[in-house]
Amino acid sequence: MVDHDPELLRSQVSLADYTTWRVGGPAEWLAEPTHKDQLIELISWAHQHQLSWRVIGAGSNLLISDAGLAGLTICLRKLQGMNLNGETGVVEALAGEPIPTLARRAARAGLHGLEWAVGIPGTVGGAAVMNAGAQGGCTAERLLSVEVIDALPNGSENAAIRILNNAELDFSYRHSRLQDCDLMVISARFQLEPGHDPKALSRATSSNLNHRTTTQPYQWPSCGSVFRNPEPLKAGQLIEALGLKGHRIGGAEVSPVHANFIVNNGSASANDILSLIALVQKEVENNHGITLHPEVKRLGFSQTITH
């Protein structure tokens, strides 16, 4: 059982090691399941103890309060595994599988469609929830379905597993229905194009990664792009036009390399980052008349920023 498994369930664990920004206070309880059957047990345990719960993946696109998180935090980064069918192009992957690993494996198998994903610092589950995208591609274009845990089906105390297809996920730019409900993604199925040259796909994948690493500040902790692009405009260009590159609050800095990145220069707190996000929003609103909407998800804060 969950209570008697110290390797699965731990208390007062710093969450700074679980986010790409390297900030965040302790989790009251933290679990890192390695099998799908542990997930329902964990949710049931949280309900029995009247604890709130939430799910995190690789911790990219995530800002956790310096005060930490009450209740149960379930980290899925150890829930990994994939199956690629080279003939049909159907790919299945567990939620904690890193999306760059899946992209490389698909390329080596001659499956076209995920080359854009090699530089996304997240997991398969996170990509489905956020409709992650880059280089002109996005998750919604290739996703067939997701397997989810419905924590409270019809008001019941027992969780249930469901399958949702692409049309049921209401995908839009960097958004899906999964952001607005208590459904935990545990796996996803993708339809890729089989029969392509693995060497050519691998070259394209490497080229995409090289472009990202040379134009974005990968040497510093960040969450990737902070703001959604207000299409057809680019958030980074709007911020850069205001001379905000290099602007700092505490240890948080608008990257001199790419203005839509806020980096932790080694001493940032979560509050530093939150304050800098709010400042950038205010400056862009005042000078351009445009509200920038953050891609980043915030957990544990009472202070608000515009969504």
Structure tokens at 122: 């997240």
Residues of the chain with CATH 3.30.43.10: 2-75
Q: Which CATH number fits domain 82-214: 3.30.465.10, 2.60.120.1440, 3.40.50.920, 3.40.50.10420?
A: 3.30.465.10
Query: Active site residue: 174, 189, 212, 298, which one?
Result: 174
Catalytic site includes residue 225:
yes
For residue 160, the model assigns a pLDDT of: 83
The CATH number assigned to the domain with range 2-75 reads 3.30.43.10
* Pairing mode, strands 262-264 and 252-254: antiparallel
The pTM for the full model equals 0.89
Beta carbons within 8 Å of 284's beta carbon, 6+ residues apart: 235, 238, 239, 242, 290, 291, 292
Give the range with max mean pLDDT: 89-93, 135-139, 154-158, 159-163.
Answer: 89-93
Residues of the chain with CATH 3.90.78.10: 217-299
Cα end-to-end distance, the chain, whole Å: 39
For residue 307, the model assigns a pLDDT of: 42
Catalytic site includes residue 269:
no
Catalytic site includes residue 295:
yes
* Domain covering 217-299, topology: 3.90.78
Residues of the chain with CATH 3.30.465.10: 82-214
* 172, β-bridge pairs: 175
Over residues 21-69, the pLDDT tens digits come to 999 999 999 999 999 889 989 999 999 999 999 999 999 989 999 999 9
- pLDDT tier for residue 285 given thresholds of 50, 70 and 90: very high
Query: Active site residue: 176, 225, 255, 269, which one?
Result: 225
Beta carbons within 8 Å of 289's beta carbon, 6+ residues apart: none
- pLDDT tier for residue 212 given thresholds of 50, 70 and 90: confident
- pLDDT tier for residue 252 given thresholds of 50, 70 and 90: very high
Mean pLDDT estimate for the chain: 92
